[in-house]
Structure 1
Amino acid sequence: MMQHLNGGITRDMPIPPKRPALTSIKITPVPVLGKFRPMVGKCCQQCTPDSLSRHSKKFEQSPYLGFSNILCVNETHTRYRGWLVRRICGVLFVCGCKVYPSHANSREERVSGSNRVREALAADSKAPEAGDSQGQLHPLSSFRPVINTCISPFFLRCVGWAMMKVFESVFGSIQVNLNHLTALCRASEEGSLLVYVYVRQSIVDNIILSLVLFFNSLRVPYAICPVQITNSFLRSILQKIGMILLPSSAATEEEAEMDNLYAPVMTSLIRELLHEGQALSVGVSAESGQGGQWLGRIRQLIKDGSLPDISLVPVGISYDHLPENHMQVGCVFRWLFSLLWKKPAGIVRVHLAQPFSLQEMSAPGRCKVDEWRSLKDLLQPVILNNSAESKFGQRKVSWLWLSHSASDTTEPNHQGRELSAAIAVHLIFSATSCMAVMPTNLVSSLLLYRHRTTGVSTSRLCRDVAWLTDEFLFRNKDVGFGGNLAEVVHYSLVHLAPHLIIAAVPSRQDPLILLRPTLDATLYLDLQAQIVTHTFILEAVGACALSSMLYDIASSGISCKVRTDSADGDEVKGALEFDMVLCQSELTKRALQLCHLLPPGFRPPCQSPQSFALNAIDSLVQCGVLITEEVERENPICDFWKREDALTWTTTDEPYQSDSDCEEPESCVYKISQPNHCPDMLLFLCNMLAGRLRALCWTTAFLEQLRTPLPEAHFVTQLCSHLCDTANKKKRHYESCSPEAARAAVGTLIDLGVLLKEPQEGVVVLGVTPVYQEPKNIAKLQRFIQQYIKALA
């Protein structure tokens, strides 16, 4: 389903005033970027076909309603009119929003009397003797304020109005897709229990989601806050608007999970909230694994029969100017109120995807976790033994489960935890897929991945933005802008100006735009460009596999033709040329090995790695980098009449057999396209993954000079320092030293069997396994990773 774009830039999208560095920029206007806007946020056809068919009908029946800015409140949003109403319309609007109050009442008794909590208290050495009813609540005293969290209509309206005023100074607009809200209202009217899942990006994600639902008269969810708040007054306010905070005795979420009572109490609290008909919102992170344990607890409640079913709603929140994310919570409100006298700094686009049934997704045959294999089994034979055969299987993500409690019985078996991890990864992918691409995302990716060394003129940048926008719309990816291309590019340059060098001289008609070669500038643009990498992940994997193969060919001196499998090749020594033939099986094998190294969330776990690798190579054909060439043979591939014994029919009970199963697999070869833009396109795609692969390579080198075991927090801190020092020595590649890249590298090395993660004396420690304590094995691992980024060195 397609939706029409607005005629100009989004109505509520303000254009900031020009900065002095941009006053000399003159861009020739061009036509509208596009005429259609794709519909995003549909359910997975493979994992939840029933939910897809049920909610697609509701989407198709709804007319196109466009987007609404929840910060743009005037007298038309109230029942009254007049001079006074125009000045207090925000108060009247907030008072008119529907509130679903929720009181704690006897929730504490129900939670403490649940079987999970009783068993945990009995197993806890600190628990008092049985029969002392008053003493049994003593171990739960630190959890009492968390259990008694409620939603007060008065406090919700007051905080909602205050945050609306604050966000008016922070963001230009917060836009929400009204079509998605219509389908969500219908699901809520049917009595579905809703759990909103979003990817953690900033400290205001929870507040924005709650504000969107509150201003549209939907049930405000109980939001799980993973950050410790020490101020008692602030804690009491937040607990009256549905914020489930960490216990005061725990400084971090990891420390809270180490408590033997935390997991049973939180599981019982979720059960009671959902029994009351309340909604929940959970943030998940692919780098740290935080948030996945909450989804596992909800799934276990359904498995135990405590709950009938849950509707999961992936939420995509896009920023074109990311808020400050590395500050203490006590400074957050001071930072917000300091912006009351500043001008808006960006736009937020919120997409609420189609709800889908958790019970349907957990049904046997949906997420086939029994076919999952550890990354150690998949890649270690290739790395250490140089095995030519690639093992097939889905990568097992063991570190995504955050809970380390010894008494945590939420997922008693490994298969249950793997299923919960698969659902968490699928939700990360779904939430990321429905995020809108903002104009700063496009410009950041072009400056960082395509024009980093030489810079780009404004006219060339406009052409690249127009081309990249068409590619996004072709891939059914929504964009958070529309209208005149010149205004969109200028808007992006205004927001990115602190991180750019804009050189305007009289001799040049177009100013030259360069990325500032600093750590902060590179990390900011890399964070903005991540959504582009997610969209082009197929092409990026295929390009890295192709680059690896071309580098090996160039190193060997072969340059003209290389034919394998069924065709004998010609080898000509000399300079590297584009007139060569590449084997499909070798390209697919390299793409398959690379896709195992991708962090969780880049591809859905319901898609097999083999299919992903084949699609990655095919995507290079679609974007014009490769050209399919038929291998010379006596009979063409398509000539079935002259082929003897070509069809081999088989009998099987498999219902999903197709006509192509009776044919022998045919090998395919490719040639590199000749257009001039092909090398630039190949480097553009390879640079998207180079930062993470380089961080993984630097991390393996760091293991040789590190004394382990170390606590996980200290390990990550020292690793980030090492990555920054390495980038400073090279004076480049600063995108490889971000905290997100460091955590992703640690998670990959844990799955690969290089690092061993064990809880010891209340903390989690990381140590190098004996196999990789040998320098030769570390060198083999480095060579394996470097093959994908050697051409970019």
Structure 2
Amino acid sequence: MEQRLNGGNAADVMSPQKRSALSRSLKMTPISVFGCFRPNVGQCCQQCTPDSLSRHHKNFGQGPALGFHNILCVNETHTRYRGWLVRRVCGMLFVCGCEVFPSPVCSRREGVCESNRVKEALATDPKTPEGADSQGQLKSISSFRPIINTCISPFFLRCVGWAMMKMFCSVFGGIQVNLNHFVALHRASEEGSLLVYVYVRQSIMDSVLLSLVLFCNNLRVPYTIFPVQVSNSFLRSLLQKIGVILLPPSAATEQDAEMEKLYGPVMTSVIRELLHEGQALSVGVSAESGQGARWLARIRQLIKEKSVPDISLVPVGISYDCVPEMHTQVGSLFRWLLSLLWRKPEGMVRIHLAQPFSLQEMYASGRCRGLEWRPLQDLLLPVILCKSTESVFGQRKISWLLPSRRASEATAEPTHRESELSIGIAVHLIFSATSCMAVMSTNLLSSLLLYRHHKGASMSVLCRDVTWLTKELLFRNKDVGFGGSLAEVLRYSLALLGPHLIIAAVPLRQDPLIVPRPTPAAALHFFLQAQIVTHTFILEAVGACAVSAMLFEIAATGVTSKVRPDSADGDKVKGDVEFDVVLCQSELTEKALQLCHLLPPGFRPPCQSSQSFAVDAIDSLVRCGILIMEEVQRNSPVCDSWKREGMLTWTPTDELYQSDSDCEDEDLCSYKVGQPNHCPDMLLFLCNMLAGRLRVLSWTTSFLDHLYAPLPEEHFVSQLCFHLREIANKKKEHYESCSQEATRAAVGTLKDLGVLMEEQREGGVFLGVTPLFQSAENRQKLHRFISQYIYN
């Protein structure tokens, strides 16, 4: 069901305080451009889960246009009562009227102790006394007893739900949810499906927002995996009464908890008991650190063992105008709550719950292509070291997303195929959750200021580009989390990004200049905000970087350029320069194929082959107008079906996947680099989308020159971040390449590429350079390979 962006929902845009300079300029552009249609997003993959797609198709987004609802706007119509008193306590009445499902924990601890995997772990644990009975086993896992006894108390859930709604009213201007998506979830819940919600971790608020949205819409509140250590005993007790599964007190991080011998078996058994009770779960995944993938692997293991019949996975897209800044140290939570008393709400939140799909269907069919995944070393090392001109076909295996279990499991390591299937499912869910995230107005404006106008732009130019980019997003079936007139949207987004902007208003000029602040904080903020736009244009960005690599190769041979005939007036050039070079389709596709292996998880559909993705990347540039197809002179007409040798070549009729066109030679296309009229510098705009991440890999190679001995992993990452900041400070630009997330993703890529190796020592995991790349010549080859994709 498509909905108009101006569809009468006044809560889509929250008008901030007006500025005089902006008001004067926005009067010049009173265009209400957002009268387009809103796409229906969140449908499950047709290739991996076709049965789930057809099963929930009638209930997902196909009902009446219920539109978006702000769950913070509660009035007397949401209760069964009316009157002036009801209007003052309607929030409390609404919370009391929401349905809460029971959560029994009477026999959960016994079920965990009777689990075979827990018994095997206790048998190999030296701390467990020999011949211990059931009471001895209970004593051995006493440290996990509070986690096992985690429950959902209806009283505490209603109290916390009411408090969260009051708190969020001071944090956000509104929390918008698509009511059309809840029809399929209610239907799946009525059928008895076990729902597991998966979201991409951005803030501590993610899981709280998801639970509150489900609670307000009378769905079962899930048990939440919370990967942050909570030291306050009162707060731990409160969180465990509303279904929050915390880390053990002895573990500071989730990685430390996984190193405990009993943690993995106990947590797997707890998940099994929760699913047997019919409870829902929510898991947060991270594409940079790989957090959350282990929990998905545990759920898939239960299905493989037939301990659980099936699971319905629900990707959740959570989009923020401004991601709330909260310290992971929960001790500062109370000070943060006190600051809300004089704080004005900032930004909106848009939440999309995607269509549920069966994990059993994806696992049994193997459609996530886990068997075709190959190590990154096999895919790229021959090309990097100049041992081959063509890369090997296959999918990149992201090994660091699901690290090997060293001490957390007593059972044997999973097979190679099982590990690849778990990684494939995790990557698929990261991509699905990211795909259904809406693009907010701050995301859109941040991408323009970072990738196209990093030196600033006038207000009229921003108005033009916002209009163009919004239409491009909607054309690519991407939902946007804003509506209203162009003036309202720009005023709203500029007010939210104000701390990172310089607005220069000249008295004699009614068109002010908007310039991003040249600070690391501003660049990192724009980089994080612009990632969702990069995800939408990933095909075009990969194709543009492939064109840049081709131009980089032929630059040394001397590139001629010419000016368009209609753009010059005498000696003064009005237009843009167009390269007079011809690029081969096969070479462009090869460059795009090699680049797509360097992409972090979540950007590329995992169920699509790398070859198909590379071909689509080049085709997308043709649709954009960046590549112009060159006509090929033929000696014979196209309709001539004879071969050049003068005879036809026939294929056997029993060969599969053959067509009538197989008897014809495949004609390779050639392209010229053009510049579309609607965006003359679109090639540079698209190349800059991936330049930040590629620049991290390129700068890391120079860091390896100063690495003389292996370092602990955390120490290695911190020193690398310091090195990247030094380079950015020296250049006084590109601060977006110094983020902690991008650094960790680069380290993971270099591990898979065979540049860095892990060593297990007494102090933990150490990272060092492999013998192959201890050679300065090989590191230089790696640097040239990565740098060719950075537009210069």
TM bin, normalised by shorter chain, reads over 0.9
Q: In structure 2, do the counterparts of structure 1 residues 309 and 659 end up closer, same or farther at CA, with 3 Å as the change threshold?
A: farther
What letter is aligned with 1:605? P
Deviation at 1:550, TM superposition (A): 1.4
Of 439, 442, 446, 1:440 maps to 442
Which of 371-380 and 5-14 deviates more?
5-14
> Which residue of structure 1 lines up, in the alignment, with residue 206 of structure 2?
205
Paired residue secondary structure (2:283)? strand
Deviation at 1:389, TM superposition (A): 1.9
- Alpha carbons 1:553, 1:559 under 8 Å: kept: no
Deviation at 1:414, TM superposition (A): 1.9
> Which residue of structure 2 lines up, in the alignment, with residue 566 of structure 1?
none
Q: In structure 2, do the counterparts of structure 1 residues 645 and 305 end up closer, same or farther at CA, with 3 Å as the change threshold?
A: farther
Q: In structure 2, do the counterparts of structure 1 residues 116 and 21 end up closer, same or farther at CA, with 3 Å as the change threshold?
A: farther
- Alpha carbons 1:374, 1:395 under 8 Å: kept: yes
- Equivalent-residue separation in structure 1 for 2:328 and 2:144 (angstroms): 26
Which of 365-374 and 223-232 deviates more?
365-374
Which of 595-604 and 15-24 deviates more?
15-24
Post-superposition Cα deviations, 1:512-567, rounded to whole Å, max 9, x if no partner, equal 00110000001001110000000000000000110111122222114379xxxxxx
Deviation at 1:768, TM superposition (A): 1.3
Deviation at 1:737, TM superposition (A): 0.3
- Equivalent-residue separation in structure 2 for 1:472 and 1:648 (angstroms): 46
Deviation at 1:147, TM superposition (A): 0.6
- Equivalent-residue separation in structure 1 for 2:298 and 2:660 (angstroms): 43
> Which residue of structure 2 lines up, in the alignment, with residue 229 of structure 1?
230
Deviation at 1:338, TM superposition (A): 1.6
- Equivalent-residue separation in structure 1 for 2:110 and 2:615 (angstroms): 56
Q: In structure 2, do the counterparts of structure 1 residues 14 and 576 end up closer, same or farther at CA, with 3 Å as the change threshold?
A: closer
Do residues 269 (structure 1) and 270 (structure 2) align?
yes
Q: In structure 2, do the counterparts of structure 1 residues 776 and 69 end up closer, same or farther at CA, with 3 Å as the change threshold?
A: same
- Alpha carbons 2:321, 2:347 under 8 Å: kept: yes
Deviation at 1:671, TM superposition (A): 1.3
Q: In structure 2, do the counterparts of structure 1 residues 3 and 655 end up closer, same or farther at CA, with 3 Å as the change threshold?
A: farther
Deviation at 1:22, TM superposition (A): 4.8
> Which residue of structure 2 lines up, in the alignment, with residue 681 of structure 1?
682
Paired residue secondary structure (2:385)? helix
Counting only pairs closer than 5 Å after superposition, residues 546-585 of structure 1 correspond to structure 2 as 546-559=547-560, 578-585=579-586
- Alpha carbons 1:720, 1:742 under 8 Å: kept: yes
What letter is aligned with 1:183? A
- Alpha carbons 2:150, 2:245 under 8 Å: kept: yes
- Equivalent-residue separation in structure 2 for 1:558 and 1:636 (angstroms): 33
Deviation at 1:649, TM superposition (A): 4.0
- Equivalent-residue separation in structure 2 for 1:190 and 1:707 (angstroms): 60
What letter is aligned with 1:216? N
> Which residue of structure 2 lines up, in the alignment, with residue 18 of structure 1?
18
> Which residue of structure 1 lines up, in the alignment, with residue 45 of structure 2?
44
Deviation at 1:644, TM superposition (A): 5.8
- Alpha carbons 1:7, 1:32 under 8 Å: kept: no
- Alpha carbons 1:170, 1:340 under 8 Å: kept: no
Paired residue secondary structure (1:399)? helix
Deviation at 1:654, TM superposition (A): 6.6
- Equivalent-residue separation in structure 1 for 2:342 and 2:440 (angstroms): 25
> Which residue of structure 2 lines up, in the alignment, with residue 466 of structure 1?
467
- Equivalent-residue separation in structure 1 for 2:767 and 2:654 (angstroms): 47
> Which residue of structure 1 lines up, in the alignment, with residue 518 of structure 2?
517
- Alpha carbons 1:504, 1:512 under 8 Å: kept: yes
> Which residue of structure 2 lines up, in the alignment, with residue 586 of structure 1?
587
- Equivalent-residue separation in structure 2 for 1:758 and 1:39 (angstroms): 48
Paired residue secondary structure (1:183)? helix
- Alpha carbons 1:254, 1:403 under 8 Å: kept: no
Q: In structure 2, do the counterparts of structure 1 residues 109 and 40 end up closer, same or farther at CA, with 3 Å as the change threshold?
A: same
What letter is aligned with 1:584? Q
Counting only pairs closer than 5 Å after superposition, residues 170-189 of structure 1 correspond to structure 2 as 170-189=171-190
Deviation at 1:141, TM superposition (A): 1.6
TM-score normalized by structure 2? 0.95
Do residues 246 (structure 1) and 239 (structure 2) align?
no
- Equivalent-residue separation in structure 1 for 2:251 and 2:264 (angstroms): 13
Post-superposition Cα deviations, 1:636-656, rounded to whole Å, max 9, x if no partner, equal 445436866686443476755
Which of 218-227 and 138-147 deviates more?
138-147
> Which residue of structure 1 lines up, in the alignment, with residue 452 of structure 2?
450
Q: In structure 2, do the counterparts of structure 1 residues 63 and 696 end up closer, same or farther at CA, with 3 Å as the change threshold?
A: same
Task: Compute the RMSD of aligned alpha carbons.
Answer: 2.0
Which of 266-275 and 358-367 deviates more?
358-367
What letter is aligned with 1:414? H
Deviation at 1:25, TM superposition (A): 4.6
Post-superposition Cα deviations, 1:684-709, rounded to whole Å, max 9, x if no partner, equal 00000000000111112111112432
- Alpha carbons 2:170, 2:344 under 8 Å: kept: yes
What letter is aligned with 1:434? C
- Alpha carbons 1:517, 1:732 under 8 Å: kept: yes
- Alpha carbons 1:9, 1:481 under 8 Å: kept: no
Deviation at 1:384, TM superposition (A): 1.1
- Alpha carbons 2:559, 2:580 under 8 Å: kept: no
Deviation at 1:210, TM superposition (A): 0.1
Give identity over the alignment, percent: 73
Do residues 130 (structure 1) and 131 (structure 2) align?
yes
Counting only pairs closer than 5 Å after superposition, residues 321-720 of structure 1 correspond to structure 2 as 321-402=322-403, 404-406=405-407, 408=409, 409=411, 412-453=414-455, 455-559=456-560, 578-637=579-638, 639-640=640-641, 648-651=649-652, 656-675=657-676, 679-720=680-721
Post-superposition Cα deviations, 1:292-344, rounded to whole Å, max 9, x if no partner, equal 00111101100111010100000000001111054422223431342132111
Do residues 190 (structure 1) and 191 (structure 2) align?
yes
- Equivalent-residue separation in structure 2 for 1:783 and 1:734 (angstroms): 21
Do residues 33 (structure 1) and 34 (structure 2) align?
yes
- Equivalent-residue separation in structure 1 for 2:526 and 2:412 (angstroms): 40
Q: In structure 2, do the counterparts of structure 1 residues 463 and 780 end up closer, same or farther at CA, with 3 Å as the change threshold?
A: same
- Alpha carbons 1:22, 1:494 under 8 Å: kept: no
> Which residue of structure 2 lines up, in the alignment, with residue 570 of structure 1?
none
Post-superposition Cα deviations, 1:214-263, rounded to whole Å, max 9, x if no partner, equal 00010000000011000000000000000000001100000000011111
Which of 666-675 and 4-13 deviates more?
4-13
Post-superposition Cα deviations, 1:700-747, rounded to whole Å, max 9, x if no partner, equal 211111243222111111111111111111100000000111011001
- Equivalent-residue separation in structure 2 for 1:222 and 1:49 (angstroms): 28
Structure 2 residues not aligned, in runs of 5+: 563-575
Q: In structure 2, do the counterparts of structure 1 residues 540 and 10 end up closer, same or farther at CA, with 3 Å as the change threshold?
A: farther
Q: In structure 2, do the counterparts of structure 1 residues 227 and 410 end up closer, same or farther at CA, with 3 Å as the change threshold?
A: farther
- Equivalent-residue separation in structure 1 for 2:747 and 2:638 (angstroms): 46
> Which residue of structure 2 lines up, in the alignment, with residue 3 of structure 1?
3
Which of 338-347 and 640-649 deviates more?
640-649
> Which residue of structure 2 lines up, in the alignment, with residue 166 of structure 1?
167
- Equivalent-residue separation in structure 1 for 2:116 and 2:598 (angstroms): 41
- Alpha carbons 2:440, 2:482 under 8 Å: kept: yes
Paired residue secondary structure (1:110)? helix
> Which residue of structure 2 lines up, in the alignment, with residue 75 of structure 1?
76
Counting only pairs closer than 5 Å after superposition, residues 279-358 of structure 1 correspond to structure 2 as 279-358=280-359
Q: In structure 2, do the counterparts of structure 1 residues 577 and 38 end up closer, same or farther at CA, with 3 Å as the change threshold?
A: closer
Post-superposition Cα deviations, 1:358-411, rounded to whole Å, max 9, x if no partner, equal 011112441222221100011001111352122111001100014633352486
- Equivalent-residue separation in structure 1 for 2:639 and 2:249 (angstroms): 70
What letter is aligned with 1:6? N
- Equivalent-residue separation in structure 2 for 1:609 and 1:560 (angstroms): 33
Post-superposition Cα deviations, 1:575-631, rounded to whole Å, max 9, x if no partner, equal 985232110011111111110000011011111111111100100000111111232
Paired residue secondary structure (1:362)? helix
Q: In structure 2, do the counterparts of structure 1 residues 62 and 675 end up closer, same or farther at CA, with 3 Å as the change threshold?
A: closer
- Alpha carbons 1:771, 1:777 under 8 Å: kept: yes
What letter is aligned with 2:16? P
> Which residue of structure 1 lines up, in the alignment, with residue 102 of structure 2?
101
Which of 456-465 and 351-360 deviates more?
456-465
- Equivalent-residue separation in structure 1 for 2:210 and 2:258 (angstroms): 25
Paired residue secondary structure (1:290)? coil
Which of 97-106 and 154-163 deviates more?
97-106
- Equivalent-residue separation in structure 2 for 1:294 and 1:306 (angstroms): 16
Paired residue secondary structure (2:534)? helix
- Equivalent-residue separation in structure 2 for 1:147 and 1:688 (angstroms): 45
Post-superposition Cα deviations, 1:429-469, rounded to whole Å, max 9, x if no partner, equal 0000000000011100001100112x111111111111111
Q: In structure 2, do the counterparts of structure 1 residues 81 and 644 end up closer, same or farther at CA, with 3 Å as the change threshold?
A: farther
- Equivalent-residue separation in structure 2 for 1:318 and 1:287 (angstroms): 18
- Alpha carbons 1:98, 1:214 under 8 Å: kept: yes
Q: In structure 2, do the counterparts of structure 1 residues 606 and 255 end up closer, same or farther at CA, with 3 Å as the change threshold?
A: same
Deviation at 1:176, TM superposition (A): 0.4
